Amino acid sequence: MLWRRAFSTTAAKRHLTAKKWDALIIGAGHNGLVASAYLARAGLSVAVLERRHVIGGAAVTEEIIPGFKFTRCSYLYGLFRPSIARELELTRHGLKLLKPLASSFTPCLDGRYLLLGLNQEQDHLEISKFSKRDADAYTSYENQLHRFQKFVDFVLDSRTPETFPWEHSSIYDGLRNKWHKSAFWARCLQQVLSLGQKDMVEFVDLLLSPTSKYLNKRFESDILKGTLAVEAIVGSMVSIHNSGSGYVLLHHVMGEVDGDHNIWSHVEGGMGSVSLAISNAAKEAGVHIVTNAEVSQVMIGDTGIVNGVCLADGTQVHSSVVLSNATPYKTFMELVPQDFLPSDFLHAIKNSDYSSGTTKINVAVDRLPQFQCCKSSNPEVGPQHTASIRIGTESMGEIDTACQEAWNGLPSRRPVMEMTIPSSLDNTISPPGKHVVSLFTQYTPYKPSDGSWEDPKYRESYARRCFNLIDEYAPGFSSSVIGYDMLAPPDLEREIGLTGGNVFHGAMGLDSLFLMRPVKGWSGNRTPVRGLYMCGSGSHPGGGVMGAPGRNAAHIVLEDVQKRSH
């Protein structure tokens, strides 16, 4: 794909050193690209520096096996803030979403299955196959989560009411900061009042409860609870029995496409097309994007203010504003000279939770998987193929066992898998009749106690374990595999730059969100180094292909630039 390399030429690098930029961005992940577009639209000269040969970070499409284009890390579109998509006109810049025919499909070994998301009436019929009581309770469960979502949307789209050190502000800035905080908490109170006391108590219950407790109180059928519980553990090493894991259940309804909720879409061309559309908007605004440009250090002057970055090849690029789309650990432990950072801040960054239980396997197959429970010999795409397919989630007990094994240092014997088949809707990513299958698998420790991810045989044994498990539900899957690409936690760290292999740039527990992200006291994108800002998923509101951290950072940079110019 030519667009991968179109940003990287000798002339492009020469252009970097020809002037002092208004802003430099480390990393062309989707948040860095979003930040660059907003900054350039405001009139700043902006350059984006990407270590790899391809833009997109974790939202990237790569042709690893000839003819098959894999979305290597992220895999579904739903969290991206609709306001950003509108403001950057991503549809005009090439973004094309492909809505699934159903939202989730959970096959059972006993020949039954649960297919959700066709419509409300069909959901009721599907759940009734397992429990009439659950079918009646499910509608109120979804409606309640939708009410909670309005409050969460408010938080996601707001900047944190952070108080920054006084030495960085004039009296006027301090007063403006107080007004911003007061306005936020007033709007927050308004949202709480609109929820009402009953729903607010329920919301707190959801935030603090273990997923298992929250679901057990509402439902009786194992398959429905298992299907829903998966939402709470994606990308983490968290157990469904952990307090606070219930919050992530909100992701069940947070997927939004064209105003429709609980929709997680595929993207034509893979998730790299999201990054490409953002980069098109950024380039239209004048952003200069350079690939194969690894930043080795953030340069800081004697006054403690940023004055640019140094690339791995020794090239110095100058700017008094630098935004880092790298993880907080990578930024502060590796790129910033630590003499300029407070010891308590460094200690907090170093001890943040970057653990991950995720291994992503992208598979090229020569035919569409056929699930035994559907009892269909029709080779055509059905609703189940377009949905998020849940493997190994027939009960919460299965999920818990998989987690306990990983906590003991072993990759799960029967991994929990979210399987998607993007080629069921997108004919641009695989040859005719063949398909791309994405497996988001858990749980896999970063350092297993029974082997090493560096050992090809060990890697192969885990991949085969996943394929064999799918065979139990879709016989013949293993024999359909043409080839695959596998990213275990150390691979995600090395290739994509995700510390610890954590796809969210750090854990998404309640102790790592909002005013605590990335660490307490520094949640507002600014950092202890003047002129250095965080714009990636390690910032509020967190991980997923959301775009909000990038937009928040851009707005704060523009405020600070405006203050300096007066």
Identity at 541, one-letter amino acid code: P
- In this structure, the answer to whether residues 157 and 252 fall within a common structural domain is yes
Closest CA to 272 of 427, 96, 442, 418: 96
CA distance 555 to 67: 41
Which of 460, 478, 506 is where one domain is finished? 506
The answer to whether the beta carbons of residues 323 and 35 sit under 8 Å apart is yes
Residue tagged 């959901």 (tokens): 123
Per-residue pLDDT of the chain (566 residues; tens, 9 = 90+): 434 444 545 677 788 988 999 999 999 999 999 999 999 999 999 999 999 999 999 999 999 999 999 999 999 999 999 999 999 999 999 999 999 999 999 999 999 999 999 999 999 999 999 999 999 999 999 889 888 988 888 998 999 998 776 445 577 777 777 888 899 999 999 999 999 999 999 999 998 999 999 999 999 999 999 999 998 888 889 899 998 888 877 765 677 777 777 788 999 999 999 999 999 999 999 999 999 999 999 999 988 999 999 999 999 999 999 999 999 999 999 999 999 999 999 999 999 999 989 999 999 999 999 999 987 656 789 999 999 999 999 999 999 999 999 999 999 999 999 999 999 999 999 999 999 999 999 999 999 999 999 999 999 999 999 999 999 999 999 999 999 999 999 999 999 999 999 999 999 888 899 999 999 999 999 999 999 999 999 999 999 999 999 999 999 999 999 887 76
Q: At 258, phi and psi to the nearest 5?
A: 55, 40
CA distance 373 to 390: 13
Q: What is the dihedral of CA 251, 257, 260, 263, to 10 degrees?
A: -50
- In this structure, the answer to whether residues 258 and 392 fall within a common structural domain is yes
CA distance 350 to 538: 13
The neighbouring-strand residues paired with 295 are: 311
The answer to whether the beta carbons of residues 116 and 123 sit under 8 Å apart is yes
Give alpha helix (H) positions in 307-361: 328-329, 343-350
Q: Which two tokens stand for residue 27?
A: 């990393």
Identity at 525, one-letter amino acid code: N
pLDDT at 173: 72
- In this structure, the answer to whether residues 78 and 123 fall within a common structural domain is no
The neighbouring-strand residues paired with 305 are: 530
CA–CA distances in Å: residue 188 to residues 150, 152, 444, 556: 11, 10, 38, 20
CA distance 289 to 30: 13
Domain count, the chain: 2
CA–CA distances in Å: residue 316 to residues 14, 128, 333, 552: 11, 64, 20, 27
The answer to whether the beta carbons of residues 138 and 123 sit under 8 Å apart is yes
Burial class (CB in 10 A: 0-12, 13-18, 19+), 6: middle
pLDDT at 251: 67
Strand, helix or coil for residue 310: strand
Q: Are strands 416-420 and 316-318 parallel, antiparallel or unpaired?
A: unpaired
Which of 506, 521, 539 is where one domain is finished? 506
Q: How wide is the angle at C-alpha 476 spanned by C-alphas 471 and 482, nearest 5°?
A: 105
The set of residues, in sequence order, having a beta carbon less than 8 Å from that of 282 and lying 6+ positions away, is: 33, 36, 37, 40, 46, 48, 289
CA distance 54 to 7: 9
The neighbouring-strand residues paired with 533 are: 323, 526
The answer to whether the beta carbons of residues 272 and 56 sit under 8 Å apart is yes
* Polymer length in residues for the chain: 566
- In this structure, the answer to whether residues 430 and 401 fall within a common structural domain is yes
Which of 488, 506, 524 is where one domain is finished? 506
pLDDT at 376: 67
- In this structure, the answer to whether residues 125 and 158 fall within a common structural domain is yes
- In this structure, the answer to whether residues 411 and 473 fall within a common structural domain is yes
- In this structure, the answer to whether residues 366 and 332 fall within a common structural domain is no
DSSP string over 276-304: HHHHHHHHHTT-EEESS--EEEEEE-TTS
pLDDT at 566: 62
Residue 280: give its domain's CATH number: 3.50.50.60
Give the DSSP H or E segment for 382. none
Range of the domain at 231: 101-263+356-506
- In this structure, the answer to whether residues 275 and 406 fall within a common structural domain is no
Burial class (CB in 10 A: 0-12, 13-18, 19+), 11: exposed
Strand, helix or coil for residue 527: coil
Q: What is the dihedral of CA 132, 219, 112, 146, to 10 degrees?
A: 90
- In this structure, the answer to whether residues 364 and 215 fall within a common structural domain is yes
Q: At 407, phi and psi to the nearest 5?
A: -60, -25
CA distance 519 to 327: 12
Q: What is the dihedral of CA 270, 272, 274, 276, to 10 degrees?
A: -130
Q: What strands lie across the sheet with 295-300, from one edge to the other?
A: 295-300, 306-311, 316-318
CA distance 522 to 539: 9
Q: Which two tokens stand for residue 71?
A: 């979305």
- In this structure, the answer to whether residues 363 and 423 fall within a common structural domain is yes
pLDDT at 1: 40
- In this structure, the answer to whether residues 61 and 209 fall within a common structural domain is no
Q: At 537, phi and psi to the nearest 5?
A: -65, -15
Number of C-beta neighbours around residue 112 at 10 A? 13
- In this structure, the answer to whether residues 145 and 275 fall within a common structural domain is no
CA distance 58 to 9: 23
CA distance 275 to 421: 20
